[in-house]
């Protein structure tokens, strides 16, 4: 176990590849305190080193909550210097999640608020139940999402949210701090799928299994091309696409894909 509140599981029933980071701090609704944060950090560092991992799901075993954000009780006891180093560690951990080479899926049942939503925004995909409540309540606490020392590539809610849903919707969400239900989140493009309450986990597994069957190098290169390309101007972005495409050419998996097509069978990819 990495910490009391974070568990790292490999889903054995899907032939490895799919790993799950499970949040389990029921007494604080999965609020991110020091222990939870170091658990998250170690889990994602372990996944980063694990060359057999193909897809990550972040889920909660606490009913009706994904993550209540920063631990506001612990925060109240911290000195300014402690808050500063905690928030920097939080931000670099979210960047680690965002920059993981393999796809990440946030499985949101119930509340994903403040840092909890920012963690979900660091993921590639978000799948929620209809009971989900998503919001950035920070302005109500007289701070802004992901505040403190802007460091390139490690900003939080004010940066990732508008890139996802556009400036106008992001401003509505951040200025009002309103909690948004699953269906509304879906219509705003804040989540990829909204399913009946309790079904987010099976839906996420379905998506994870689909991704798990694709060429692993192709998936990694597609993620890189999209994430890095969107920050570049078009000519340079297209160069990046070409660079990423090249990485998929000299692979055993590409030949396996062509062979499987010719032989009318499912390809078996090894990530080589
Ligand atoms: N931190 C610490 N404890 C929490 C938190 C939290 N964020 N959220 C809930 N808890 C605790 C409650 O205090 C309560 O403890 P106790 O039993 O001792 O009273 C217990 O969890 C259960 O909570 P509720 O009774 O409220 O449970 P409900 O099921 O009724 O509601 C909610 C669950 C909706 C999650 C509700 O608890 C809630 O709204 N929580 C606050 C959410 C919030 O405002 N989060 C945003 C925090 S700001 C942030 O994340 C900023 C991150 C960026 C860092 C930059 C800062 C400088």
CATH architecture of 216-262: Orthogonal Bundle (1.10)
Distance 86 CA to ligand 1 centre (A): 18
Residues of the chain with pLDDT > 70, as a percent, come to: 94
Q: Which residue's CA is minimally distant from atom 28 of ligand 1?
A: 29
pLDDT higher than 70, residue 147: no
Model ipTM value: 0.94
Ligand 1 neighbour 73 (Cβ under 6 A): yes
Farthest CA pair distance, the chain: 65
Task: State the catalytic residue, choosing from 69, 110, 114, 115.
Answer: 115
Identify the pLDDT of residue 15: 60
Residue 10's pLDDT band (boundaries 50, 70, 90)? confident
For residue 120, indicate whether it is catalytic. no
Q: Which residue's CA is minimally distant from atom 48 of ligand 1?
A: 114
Compute, in degrees rounded to 10, the torsion defined by CA atoms 26, 27, 32, 33. -140
Identify the pLDDT of residue 146: 77
For residue 228, indicate whether it is catalytic. no
Could you report the per-residue pLDDT of 242-263, keeping only the tens digit for each? 999 999 999 999 999 999 999 9
Could you report the per-residue pLDDT of 107-117, keeping only the tens digit for each? 999 999 999 99
Of the listed ranges 63-67, 130-134, 157-161, 180-184, the least confidently predicted one is: 157-161
Identify the pLDDT of residue 155: 47
pLDDT higher than 60, residue 14: no
Could you report the per-residue pLDDT of 162-206, keeping only the tens digit for each? 999 999 999 999 999 999 999 999 999 999 999 999 999 999 999
Ligand 1 neighbour 67 (Cβ under 6 A): no
Ligand 1 neighbour 157 (Cβ under 6 A): no
* CA neighbor of 48 nearest in space, from 15, 4, 93: 93
Identical fold between 6-212 and 216-262: no
Please work out, in degrees rounded to the nearest 5, the angle formed at the alpha carbon of residue 140 by the alpha carbons of 136 and 145: 40
Q: Which residue's CA is minimally distant from atom 8 of ligand 1?
A: 68
> Which of 5, 68, 70 most suits a substitution to test ligand 1, by most atoms within 8 Å of the C-beta?
68
Cβ contacts of 258 within 8 Å, gap of 6 or more: none
Residue 153's pLDDT band (boundaries 50, 70, 90)? very low
Q: Which residue's CA is minimally distant from atom 12 of ligand 1?
A: 28
Task: State the catalytic residue, choosing from 20, 138, 157, 215.
Answer: 138
CATH 3.90.226.10 given to domain 6-212: yes
Identify the pLDDT of residue 152: 36
Identify the pLDDT of residue 2: 64
The domain spans of the chain are 6-212, 216-262
Of the listed ranges 6-10, 16-20, 262-266, the least confidently predicted one is: 6-10
For residue 98, indicate whether it is catalytic. no
* CA neighbor of 69 nearest in space, from 35, 107, 29, 104: 29
Of the listed ranges 15-29, 176-190, 233-247, the least confidently predicted one is: 15-29
């Amino acid at each position: 176990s990495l910490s009391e509140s974070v568990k790292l599981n490999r889903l054995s029933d899907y032939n490895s590849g799919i790993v799950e980071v499970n949040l389990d701090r029921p007494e604080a609704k999965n609020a991110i305190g020091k222990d939870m944060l170091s658990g998250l950090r170690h889990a994602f560092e372990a996944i980063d080193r694990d060359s057999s991992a193909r897809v990550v799901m972040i889920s909660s075993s606490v009913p009706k909550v994904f993550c209540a954000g920063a631990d506001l009780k612990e925060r109240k006891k911290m000195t300014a210097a402690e808050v500063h180093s905690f928030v920097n560690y939080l931000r670099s951990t979210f960047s680690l999640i965002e920059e993981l080479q393999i796809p990440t899926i946030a499985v949101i049942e119930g509340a994903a608020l403040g840092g909890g939503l920012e963690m979900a925004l660091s993921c590639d995909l978000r799948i929620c139940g209809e009971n989900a409540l998503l919001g950035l309540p920070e302005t109500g606490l007289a701070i802004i999402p992901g505040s403190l020392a802007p460091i390139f590539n490690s900003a939080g809610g004010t940066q990732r949210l508008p890139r996802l849903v556009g400036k106008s919707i992001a401003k509505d969400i951040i200025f009002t701090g309103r909690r948004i239900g699953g269906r509304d989140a879906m219509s705003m493009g804040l989540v990829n799928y909204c399913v009946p309450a309790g079904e987010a986990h099976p839906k996420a597994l379905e998506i994870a299994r689909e991704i798990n069957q694709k060429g692993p190098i192709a998936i990694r290169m597609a993620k890189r091309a999209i994430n890095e390309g969107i920050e570049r101007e078009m000519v340079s972005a297209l160069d990046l696409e070409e660079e990423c495409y090249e990485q998929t050419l000299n692979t055993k998996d590409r030949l396996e894909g062509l062979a499987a097509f010719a032989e009318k069978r499912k390809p078996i990819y090894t990530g080589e």
